Each structure stands twice: as C-alpha cells, then as structure tokens.
Amino acid sequence: MKDVLISEAKKALKNAYAPYSYFKVGAAVLMKSGKIYTGTNVENASYGATVCAERVAIFKAISEGESEILEIAVVTETEEPSPPCGICRQVIAEFSDDAFVFLANTKGDIIETSLSKLLPMAFTKKDLKNK
C-alpha cells in the first residue's frame, strides 16, 4: 500500500496552494475501511489560517465517517523527505494508536517510520479518561 499512498500524495501535491512559503506538500491517508483520502497544504495571507496537507486529508476522511488511520504518506519537493509538523502529529495521534508513516520527496527518496517514533509519549484521549 506504501507505493499507492505515495503516488496519491504526489498527485495531491500538484494542487498545493503555497504562494507564500513555496513549500508544497501532498498527503494521502489510508483509513481502516480501506479508503484513501488525499490532501494538500492551503496557505493563507493571514498565515495562521493555513492548513497542512496531512490535516486536510484526515479531516476529509473524518468528515466522511471514517475513524481510524492505518497509514499516511507525506510528499514534499524538498531535498530530503519532510516529516509532519507537530500539530499534524497530534491530529494523527487522535485517530491512530500507531500509524505507519511514509515520508517521501519527489526525487523518490522514502523514509518509513511510525507515529510513535515521530511523537513519543503522545498526549491522547486516553489521558483524559477517568480512571
């Protein structure tokens, strides 16, 4: 599934709206249902209103009734593959115990990792439950 996710993320990257940072990102997320959702970063002149590709893909999935992430691919045009930002890592953690994460660039470099390696000791909904 890794190759399919990376391919879908590369396609999404083409639609990135990054006129300020020029840092284009595409993402594809595989949900427990087997469906794949894609996203791209969308920047805004007020900067704080910018949304990352990973969150766009995840929010699309959740808005369609999905609830569990199995894998996610993130593709950038950078020299080395880039990981998700901290906010995106936290959002991934909300919908996955330990998703597989594929980081790639458009040159074909790929890093395989996991959410637990990117966000050790994550604060999750489990921490909010009464014991």
Residue 130 predicted with pLDDT over 70: no
Catalytic residue among 8, 54, 79, 94: 54
Q: Which of 120, 102, 122 is nearest to 111 (CA)?
A: 102
Class of the CATH domain delimited by 2-128: alpha beta
Tell me the pTM: 0.95
Residue 131 predicted with pLDDT over 60: no
Is 8 a residue of the active site? no
Q: Tokens at residue 109, please? A: 């470099």
The pLDDT tens digits of the residues spanning 45-54 come to: 999 999 999 9
Domain ranges of the chain: 2-128
Classified as helix, coil or strand, 33 is coil
Residue 19 predicted with pLDDT over 70: yes
